[in-house]
Amino acid sequence: MNREGAAAELAALYFLQRQGMTPLTSNFRSKLGEIDIIMLDGQILVFVEVRRRSSDRYGGAAASISAAKKKKLWRTAQLFLQQHPAYQRLPCRFDVVAYDGRDLRTEPSWLMGVL
């Protein structure tokens, strides 16, 4: 991962914590894909994709998630649940935290339950 991507993920983590969410892990990787952040929002397990685009020339950060990426996220989340049975009974949600522009100090777009 590049430094800009890592900085966006860290900013997103801090943002979500300020919203009252509890982090479980970040950068969960498998041969199927990667989930940037996994958190608890009360009793809801949240899989978070973080996107950053310096320009909205091609539709902005949130629009950059392709159908193939969604499929990878879904499969990787299923693998996480298989490996962590304690979370299998919790409802799950997929969120996107999107940063448009270079300044990570600005409020991101937080799209809940989008995938």
Kindly tell me if the per-residue pLDDT of 104 is higher than 90.
Answer: no
- Quick one: pLDDT at residue 5? 80
Decide yes or no: CATH 3.40.1350.10 for domain 3-59+84-111: yes
Q: What does 5-71 look like in DSSP terms, one character per residue? A: HHHHHHHHHHHHHHTT-EEEEEEEEETTEEEEEEEEETTEEEEEEEEEES--TTSTTGGG--HHHHH
User: Strand, coil or helix: what is 112?
Assistant: coil
Does residue 54 surpass a pLDDT of 80?
Answer: no
pLDDT in tens, 6-45: 899 999 999 999 999 999 999 999 999 999 999 999 999 9
| Residue ranges covered by each domain of the chain | 3-59+84-111
Task: Round the average pLDDT of the chain to a whole number and report it.
Answer: 90
Residue 66 has pLDDT above 90, yes or no: no
Would you give the end-to-end CA distance of the chain in angstroms? 22
Entry pTM: 0.91
Q: What is the pLDDT of residue 3?
A: 80
